[in-house]
Amino acid sequence: MNHKKQLSIFGTEFPLAHGGSLQTFQLRYETYGTLNSDLSNVVLILHALTGWPAAHEWWHGLVGKGRLIDPEQYFIICPNFLGSCYGSTGPESINPSTGVPYRASFPTISTRDIAKANLQLLDQLGIAGVALGIGGSMGGMVLLEMAALDPNRFRAIIPIAVSGEHSAWRISFSSTIRNAITAADPSLADTDKLSAGLHLARQFATISYRCSQEFDSRFARHESEGIFEIENYLRHQGEKIVERFSPYSYLTLTKAMELYELRNAEAITCPSLIVGIASDILYQPAEIERFAARLPQGQYVTLDADHGHDSFLVDADTLAQIIEPFINSVIVESTLEEFTIA
């Protein structure tokens, strides 16, 4: 399916929204498919907090041959976020001023900084127009920031499980999660201790990403060797994140999410389908529906799934079914006026 792993390097100073700058930065990204002659078949996919550029691996219900976002039809781009640890510049990168990794000295970044970096990537690739932008959770935040910064860039967007700001409710989860990491080593110098903190932090986070209905039906009060199965599940989630993610990147990106506040949603003039999730305790459907009403061409639909905030990843097949009419209307058929959601 013409899948490529690529890297773009940007050599000019990159100022940051909350002060400071990066002397230089790079973005790792992956592409699928072939760009057509008039550059009109670009789909931009933006991953969630700990995601990576290989979209077909974590969104295989949506991306791939024969799927809704098919590389035989579209030219798909999935960049790794600035601040992450999958090849883009982040805390584990070498600070050119010191010759050693940034780690705790990596500057504060915002979702808008990440959006600006992604727009620079599109500029470098010569892509002035994106047929569809799609992303969930943090990916939805970055997508909305991109569309607000450059509304003429997108023909349509689908932000999922996200509204216009990180509320006090979400900050309460996020700050507690970050505190679990920093409490393990307040100096932020011992990577092993911070990884142990990340192990616990991810367990807290997983509780917020799922919902009580799923846990009750899936685990109930079942035990294995004297340990509740839900405890084993949460411990496993902690082990997995420690194996694949940097605690410094986790701190950097969760802080960026806390700072998220889309102040100019009205600037997003392209057709926008905003997806809420029935069982999401972080972004409840009513909040997302109110946010959708702020967008000039915003429409709202609910994903009826039982896996909480993570449903857009776990229930990707169902997600594809509810967003397909929108994609067909605004991208394939270009007849938004005729589009309605039942």
Q: Which residues have a catalytic role annotated? A: 137, 280, 309
CA–centroid distance for 117 within its chain:
14
Structural contact between residues 329 and 339, judged by C-beta atoms closer than 8 angstroms: yes
Query: Nearest CA to 106 among 262, 258, 250?
Result: 250
Going by their DSSP bridges, the two strands 75-79 and 132-136 should be labelled as unpaired
What is d(CA 273, CA 303) in angstroms, rounded to the nearest whole number? Answer: 12
Residue 34's contacts (CB-CB under 8 Å, 6 or more residues apart) are: 2, 75
* Residue 331 vs residues 14, 125, 269, 295, 324: alpha-carbon distances, Å: 33, 21, 15, 19, 10
303 backbone φψ class: left, alpha, beta (φ>0; ψ -120 to 50): beta
Q: Which helix (H) or strand (E) holds 28?
A: strand 25-32
Token pair for residue 290?
């109110």
Give me the helices (H) in the chain, please.
Answer: 55-58, 111-124, 138-149, 168-182, 191-209, 212-218, 229-244, 247-259, 285-292, 311-314, 316-327
Query: Nearest CA to 252 among 82, 53, 25, 95?
Result: 82
What is d(CA 48, CA 52) in angstroms, rounded to the nearest whole number? Answer: 8
Residue 124's contacts (CB-CB under 8 Å, 6 or more residues apart) are: 8, 10
Residue 282 sits at φ, ψ, to 5 deg, of -85, -50
